[in-house]
Amino acid sequence: MAMEHKAFLYRDIDDFLSVTVPYLKDGLANDQSVIAVVPEPRLTALRDVFAGPGQPIAFVDSAEFYRHPVRTLRDYQHVVKQSAPRRVCALAEPVWQGWDERQTLEWIRYESLINVVFASSGARALCPYDTGTLPPRVVAEAKRTHPLLLSSEHEGLNHEYVDPVTVGTACDRGPRTGRPRDAEYLPVAGADLHVLRAFVGERAARHGLPKRPAQNLVTAANEVAANALQHGTPPAGLWIWRDGDDVVCEIGDNGFWRPPPNPLTGFIPPETALQRGFGLWTVRLLVDLVEIQAGWDGTFVRLSVSRSASEPAGA
Amino acid sequence: METPWFAERPVGEVRPGDHGWLAYSGSEERDQVIGTFVREGLRTTEKVVYVTDAPAHRLPGVGPRHGIDVDAYSRAGQLRVISRRDACLDRRGGFEPAMMLDTLGREVDKAFDEGFRAVRLTTDYSWLLKPPGPPDLARMLGCEHRVGDAVSPSTMAMAICQIDRHALRPDELAALRDTHEVLVEVNPEYDDGILKIVRTFEPDGLRLEGELDAARHSVFAEQLAQVSTDRRRVHLDLSRLGFIDLGGLHLMARHATGLPAGEPLVLDHLAPDVENVIEMVGWHRLPGLVRGGRRTSPDPEGIT
């Protein structure tokens, strides 16, 4: 069953409630699995409307749920699977404050990926966008990432919708910064990556990454390096440096990534570890940002981890 | 929990002065450990003294299959099998610790006189603890303390005391274990300094220590396949595995999906870094893998 993914452009809390409350009630009336992921203070406003013993709506604070787009996609997929065979009716308002330019792009890509990951799930998602406070650019992108649109001027099919590959391509188009001169280098050669792990772990700690994110970076770098050794063309190497609050690790080799990666590569959660793409998807889960550059001069995979983000592990 | 004060050692690394302990779960484990102990002693021209009522050719680790000619070693005086009656039983057939100590002392002196550089002593005490009589634990504890006192300062004697772990309650087993300084286990199936793979017997499976990565996938797969015969449920003890790569998870899941229908591969005692990666991807993405026991602190031999 096709999914229903609708952006809802609202002006104020009354406007917000006038649409979301009937939406959630409709989900309940149709015996759907209803989840409302909304930031405060709207979360409390909705809770108040539905307060009562045994009310079946799962209320979640967006500030908890929207921290890392790849993990959020995984978590929504979990909700859909847990709810089956019932359809999911989700009210899903992402967080748009506090991200830098690159993170904002990743959340735009995320909204677009919803259309791919849940294409045949039968889920319904209504995504509220606050036109009063959000930057016009975020609202404009919402129109490119939602096939359905509800606003004061429009209801129904959204003619500005763009397919996810096109959206993703635009997200990847940004200028790629070079490596700083003080990046530390380690050649990647031979089959044994023990030295590489020790190198990355030690540098990550020295650059101030807490233990868990440092270990996640080690696992991710190990995976990318193992791929470079298995599928790439020597010489392969690893650079690591600090960029502001991020620790960045880049693994490169001289080969061409075949088939060439597209903007969806590694974003779609695999069913199991036995499927193709499990490795890269997990790498995307483990670190904050993965950027792939597959070009004429080789394949470069850049992994970034913030020193300050504290991310609870697991689903 | 206090740090254990005993050393854990594969049987191949038992050395003079070691008063070793083996609580075995079954004959397979006992034969592997004691068989190695006996065989390596004979091959390195150390003396082997075995207190048992079994005939020499029935000892673990010997016989034509292992390339050990029992009769030749016996004739040469390198292998000595002493019956319980001669070693440690009084006239009424009761266990006499003082006699056992005398026997050990005499055998060590004799081995020295014969020019052996080391002597390996072993016996299975399980018969003492099994019915009809009640297990005389206090007597055994006293005996073991004295054996320890005799062996530990020695520069040529090493001993392994065998006990069927099912012959005693866990607290009794722990009390007896604590009279030994060295816990003996099988030699690792593989150890390259980064990854160590050790066979476990109760439950059946493997213990992984160190780091599992692409360079070690094939050796791990091979060991996993070997232990997965005989239609038994296989457990992997991951309490000492500090790193697993994503290919390692893939390998385990692929192995598990090849097991007979519904038979899982059980992952016990996950170390935090490995558990974190598994929870990150979700257990449901690792078909056939299930979480087994949880243990936060090391528990040598899994007695408690």
Q: What is the pLDDT of residue A256?
A: 85
With an 8 Å Cβ cutoff, is A310 touching chain B?
no
This prediction's pTM: 0.90
Q: What is the CATH number of the domain that holds B177?
A: 3.40.50.300
What's the average model confidence in pLDDT over B75-82? 95
For an interface test with B, the pick among A199, A222, A275 (most B C-beta atoms closer than 10 Å) comes out as A222
B2 domain residue, yes or no:
no
Whether B81 has a pLDDT exceeding 60, the answer reads yes
Q: What is the pLDDT of residue A188?
A: 94
Q: What is the CATH number of the domain that holds A26?
A: 3.40.50.300
- Domain count for chain A: 2
With an 8 Å Cβ cutoff, is B243 touching chain A?
yes
The sheet carrying A246-253 orders its strands as: A184-188, A236-243, A246-253, A298-306, A289-295
Whether B151 has a pLDDT exceeding 90, the answer reads no
Q: Tell me, yes or no, whether A30 and A124 share the same domain.
A: yes
A315 domain residue, yes or no:
no
Full DSSP string of chain B: -PPP-SEEEEGGG--TT-EEEEEESSHHHHHHHHHHHHHHHHHTT-EEEEE-SS-GGGSTT-BGGGTB-HHHHHHTTSEEEE-HHHHHB-TTS-B-HHHHHHHHHHHHHHHHHTT-S-EEEEEE-HHHHSSSSPP-HHHHHHHHHHHHHHHTT-SSEEEEEEEEGGGS-HHHHHHHHTT-SEEEEPPPSEE-SSEEEEEEETTEEEEEEEEE-GGGHHHHHHHHHHHT-TT--EEEEEEEEEEE-HHHHHHHHHHHHTSSTTPPEEEES--HHHHHHHHHH-GGGSTTEEE----SS--GGG--
B63 domain residue, yes or no:
yes
Contact A129, A97 (CB under 8 A): no
- Please give the single-letter amino acid code of residue B108: V
Residues of A in contact with B276 (CB under 8 A): 212, 215-216, 313-314
User: Torsion angle, CA of B55/B60/B66/B68, rounded to 10 degrees?
Assistant: -40
Q: What is the pLDDT of residue A303?
A: 97
With an 8 Å Cβ cutoff, is B276 touching chain A?
yes
C-alpha closest to that of B232 among B224, B220, B240: B224
| ipTM of predicted complex | 0.91
What's the average model confidence in pLDDT over B144-160? 89
Q: What is the pLDDT of residue A312?
A: 45
Query: Hey, are the CB atoms on A286 and B277 less than 8 Å from each other?
Result: yes
- Token pair in block for residue A123: 């889920």
Q: Tell me, yes or no, whether A162 and A190 share the same domain.
A: no
Contact B287, A272 (CB under 8 A): yes
Whole-number Å distance between alpha carbons of A137 and B12: 69
A176 domain residue, yes or no:
no
Q: pLDDT tens digits, residue range A113-128?
A: 999 999 999 999 999 9
Q: Please give the backbone phi and psi of residue B27, each rounded to the nearest 5 degrees, phi first.
A: -65, -30
Q: Tell me, yes or no, whether A196 and A143 share the same domain.
A: no
Query: Hey, are the CB atoms on A222 and B245 less than 8 Å from each other?
Result: yes
Q: Tell me, yes or no, whether A65 and A142 share the same domain.
A: yes
Q: Tell me, yes or no, whether A16 and A152 share the same domain.
A: yes
Q: How confident is the model at residue B4 (pLDDT cuts 50, 70, 90)?
A: low
Query: Hey, are the CB atoms on B245 and A219 less than 8 Å from each other?
Result: yes
With an 8 Å Cβ cutoff, is B214 touching chain A?
yes
A31 domain residue, yes or no:
yes
Q: How many angstroms away from the CA of B278 is the closest CA of chain A?
A: 8
Q: Tell me, yes or no, whether A65 and A92 share the same domain.
A: yes
With an 8 Å Cβ cutoff, is A1 touching chain B?
no
Whole-number Å distance between alpha carbons of B78 and B41: 9
Of A229, A230, A286, the CB nearest to B280: A286
With an 8 Å Cβ cutoff, is A74 touching chain B?
yes
Q: Tell me, yes or no, whether A19 and A150 share the same domain.
A: yes
Whether B300 has a pLDDT exceeding 70, the answer reads no
- Tell me which residue range forms the domain holding B241: 190-302
A314 domain residue, yes or no:
no
Residues of B in contact with A218 (CB under 8 A): 243
Q: Tell me, yes or no, whether A9 and A155 share the same domain.
A: yes
Of A216, A222, A272, the CB nearest to B285: A272
Q: What is the pLDDT of residue B134?
A: 66
Pairing relationship of beta strands B190-191 and B182-185 according to DSSP bridges: unpaired
Whether B123 has a pLDDT exceeding 60, the answer reads yes
Q: Tell me, yes or no, whether B178 and B203 share the same domain.
A: no
Whether B2 has a pLDDT exceeding 60, the answer reads no
Q: What is the pLDDT of residue B304?
A: 46
Contact B163, B125 (CB under 8 A): yes
Cα angle vertex A23, ends A20, A25, to 5°?
110
Q: pLDDT tens digits, residue range B124-138?
A: 998 888 766 666 788
What's the average model confidence in pLDDT over B82-90? 92
Q: How many angstroms away from the CA of B292 is the closest CA of chain A?
A: 18
Q: Tell me, yes or no, whether A149 and A116 share the same domain.
A: yes
Q: What is the pLDDT of residue B95?
A: 86
With an 8 Å Cβ cutoff, is B257 touching chain A?
yes
Q: What is the pLDDT of residue B1?
A: 42
Collect the ranges in chain A with pLDDT lower than 70.
309-315
- Please give the single-letter amino acid code of residue A115: N
With an 8 Å Cβ cutoff, is B273 touching chain A?
yes
| Last residue within a domain, chosen from A122, A144, A171 | A171
What's the average model confidence in pLDDT over B74-83? 95
Of B213, B257, B280, the CB nearest to A274: B257
Length of chain A: 315
- Domain count for chain B: 2
- Tell me which residue range forms the domain holding A151: 4-171
Q: Tell me, yes or no, whether B92 and B135 share the same domain.
A: yes
Q: What is the pLDDT of residue A314?
A: 38
With an 8 Å Cβ cutoff, is A78 touching chain B?
yes
Q: Tell me, yes or no, whether B63 and B123 share the same domain.
A: yes
Contacts of B260 (CB under 8 A, 6+ apart): B231
| Last residue within a domain, chosen from B185, B207, B232 | B185
Q: What is the pLDDT of residue B135?
A: 66
| Last residue within a domain, chosen from B140, B157, B185 | B185
| Last residue within a domain, chosen from B185, B211, B228 | B185
Q: pLDDT tens digits, residue range A139-168?
A: 999 999 999 999 988 889 999 999 999 999
Q: Tell me, yes or no, whether B234 and B114 share the same domain.
A: no
Mean pLDDT, chain B, rounded, equals 90
Q: Tell me, yes or no, whether A201 and A292 share the same domain.
A: yes
B1 domain residue, yes or no:
no
Whether B168 has a pLDDT exceeding 70, the answer reads yes
